[in-house]
Amino acid sequence: MAVPKKWWGLGLSASLLAAILSGCSSGSNNGNNGDAQATASASSTESASPSASGAAATASPASALDTSKKVELQFYMVGDAPADLKEIESKINEMALQDLNATVKFNFTTWSDWSQKYKLLLASGQPIDLIFTADWTQYQTYANKGAFLPLDDLLPKSAPELHGFVPKEMWDAVKVGGKIYTVPSTYEEYVTDGIVYREDLRKKYNLPVPDSLEHLENYLDGIKKNEPGMTPIADKGNLHVEAYQLHPDLKNMAYKVGSTPYGLNIPYDDPHNVTSYWGSQAHLDMLKIFKGWTDKGYLPRNQLNDATRGPDLFASGKAAVVLSAQNPTAYGQLLSKMAGTGMEIAYFPYPMYKGYSTPVHPIHNGFAIPTSSANPERALAFYEKLVLDKRYNLLTEYGVEGKHYEVSADGHYQAVGDAGASGFPREGMNGWAWRNPEYMLFDTSYDVVGGIFKQLETISKPDFLTGLAEDYTPYQAERAALEQVQQEYLAPLEAGVVKDVEAGLKTFMEKAKAAGLDKVQDGYKQQLDSYLTEIGR
């Protein structure tokens, strides 16, 4: 399933903004948290990557890589490390020492407060040789701020095969200010979210498929009545706000709420006509719905303080639905994890209600070399090994064959033993960025996921907004103040624990405006207008 080629002509260059500064700033995504981002990025499709032949950039002849000095590369991932990381690291280092006279230390942020940790890593100046990048880690902003080294000259010299492997249009798509700062994954994806729900309970109690707000509430009501010991909604940390996508008045929003900057409503079909979702009637309606869910017991009142991940609660059989961070591949992972439990689950993609889906932009998964790197050439050469050398790729994506996984006679990935308790589950290092479609292994759940992607492809529209490289320097102080206001006043409203919703929303808007909401929104809209004009929208 190839992404339509017309997509590549849209959003390929970032706006030329203010002069790049030397400092680094926050990677916060205006409301998204680690749980959402963990599964939002852990996504893949049954499609093939763009062919490296024909479309690929022409690799320049490689100069001899100086490997005379042994080095240790510092490699940083987002998320949690697998239990058997040390074993994988040891095996990788045996090869890397022989091939590149280098060893690698794999570091992970954990999902707890990952955004702040990511920001501190880049601001500290500590030696980092490779770090994960994505739209949701604010790749463009950090690139604009000078956090990463430009790779244009390094690629043909240190990683010529990788330079040729990634299609030219993908290199173009990740440029910021005309320069390449990250190596994108060549694996084409959809990461649009959906609802995962207990299908066996739906059938047992004759409940509706939760494919609209009305049907979702009827489903939740049936669960509450018939399974009083179960938590109807698994999401923690007010991630259930993703259900706004089922609101009839918000079908045309180009962003989901978690990633919509500064509470703005950007219509997909008329993106210059930006309005504020925050404070609108639709916003008030959704907040009242969330309050009703908490009052009815669909949501626990302590959700903002509960560190349990929603998908984990769901997989344990203690909850009936997950409303956020469940793209089709995350659903496939739950299918694998819950296989053999006797629980039947199903999935409804939000785009099927909204009427359109967007394929992922190439900046969604990548790796950059921070300016603090002591070994940029060796780091890029090592990354080339991760992507193109099958030994490195399979080991870091799937673990040790025979111990962590096996390949069935029909070519499917099979976890050894209990997949949920594996020391290295599939893509256990969160290696989404170095996926190589030629080597990828899929378990049987991906047969289901592939069908979902075929559905989404029938309503696919290009993602033209992700290419905007925001420069929030002119309103940085107001932006930081606004984040504090969101945490203090908006989060409780979204959790449904504010008694008077209308008064609470009024207070939030007053505090937000006092913090500089108008300046922030106006500053972003000006950049958006310029960017849209630049790309011809």
DSSP string, 471-526: --GGGHHHHHHHHHHIIIIIHHHHTT--S-HHHHHHHHHHHHHHHTHHHHHHHHHH
Residue 30: inside a domain, yes or no?
no
Q: Which two tokens stand for residue 22?
A: 């030397």
Q: Answer with the one of 433, 457, 481 that is the final residue of a domain.
A: 457
My answer on whether 235 and 95 are in the same domain is: no
* Extended strands (E) in 172-308: 175-176, 179-180, 183-184, 194-198, 231-233, 264-265, 275-276
Q: State how far the Cα of 212 lies from the Cα of 210, in Å rounded to an integer.
A: 6
How many Å apart are CA 398 and CA 401, to the nearest integer?
Answer: 8
CA distance 255 to 220: 26
**Residue 302 shares a structural domain with residue 251:** yes
Per-residue buried b or exposed e for 178-192, using 16+ beta carbons within 10 Å of the residue's own CB: ebbbbbbbbbbbbbb
Same domain for 442 and 488? no
Residue 19 located in a structural domain:
no
Q: Taking the CA of residue 71 as centre, how many other CA atoms within 13 Å lie in the half-sphere pointing to its CB?
A: 21
Tokens (6 digits) for 6: 């017309």
Tokens standing for 232?
Answer: 């109807």
Strand partners, 106: 75
Measured N-to-C along each axis, helices 213-226 and 281-295 cross at an angle, to the nearest 10 degrees, of 10
Q: Residue 28: inside a domain, yes or no? A: no
381 and 528 share one domain: no
Beta-carbon contacts of residue 378 (< 8 Å; ≥ 6 apart): 65, 67, 71, 73, 100, 102, 129, 158
Euclidean distance between CA atoms 482 and 175, whole angstroms: 29
- The reply to whether 290 and 204 lie within a common domain is yes
Number of domains in the chain: 2
Full pLDDT tens readout for the chain, 537 residues: 333 322 332 232 333 223 323 333 333 333 333 343 334 344 433 343 443 333 333 333 344 799 999 999 999 999 999 999 999 999 999 999 999 999 999 999 998 889 899 999 999 999 999 999 998 898 988 998 899 999 999 999 999 999 999 999 999 989 998 999 999 999 877 888 999 999 999 999 999 999 999 999 999 999 999 999 999 999 988 789 889 999 998 888 887 655 678 999 999 999 999 999 999 999 999 999 999 999 999 998 887 777 778 888 899 999 999 998 788 988 988 988 898 899 999 999 999 999 999 888 889 899 999 999 999 999 999 999 999 999 999 999 999 999 999 999 999 999 998 777 889 999 999 999 999 999 999 888 788 888 898 999 999 988 888 878 888 899 999 999 999 999 999 999 999 999 999 999 999 999 999 999 999 999 999 999 999 998 888
CB atoms within 10 A of CB 213: 18
Please check whether residues 372 and 312 belong to one and the same domain: no
Q: Are 379 and 450 in the same domain?
A: yes
148: domain CATH number is 3.40.190.10
73, 158: one domain: yes
Q: Is 54 a member of any domain?
A: no
| Residue 3 in domain | no
Residue by residue, DSSP assigns 156-194 as: HHH-HHHHHHSBHHHHHHTEETTEE-SEE-----B---E
CA dihedral (124, 126, 128, 131) in degrees, to 10, reads -20
Fill in the amino acid letter for 309. Answer: R
Q: Are residues 393 and 442 in the same domain?
A: yes
In a domain, 53, yes or no: no
Range of the structural domain that residue 379 is part of = 66-188+361-457
Whether residue 268 lies inside any domain: the answer is: yes
Tokens for 518, please give them.
């108008």
The residue assigned the tokens 């006279």 is 101
| 400 within domain boundaries | yes
In a shared domain, residues 113 and 201: no
Q: Could you tell me if 478 and 329 lie in one domain? A: yes
Q: Which of 352, 359, 323, 360 is nearest to 251 (CA)?
A: 352
Note the pTM of the prediction, 2 decimals. Answer: 0.72
For residue 270, with 0-12 CB atoms within 10 Å meaning exposed, 13-18 middle and 19 or more buried, which class applies?
Answer: exposed
Domain boundary among 424, 457, 490: 457
Residue finishing a domain among 457, 489, 515: 457
Do residues 325 and 219 share a domain? yes
Crossing angle (nearest 10°) for helices 281-295 and 501-515: 130
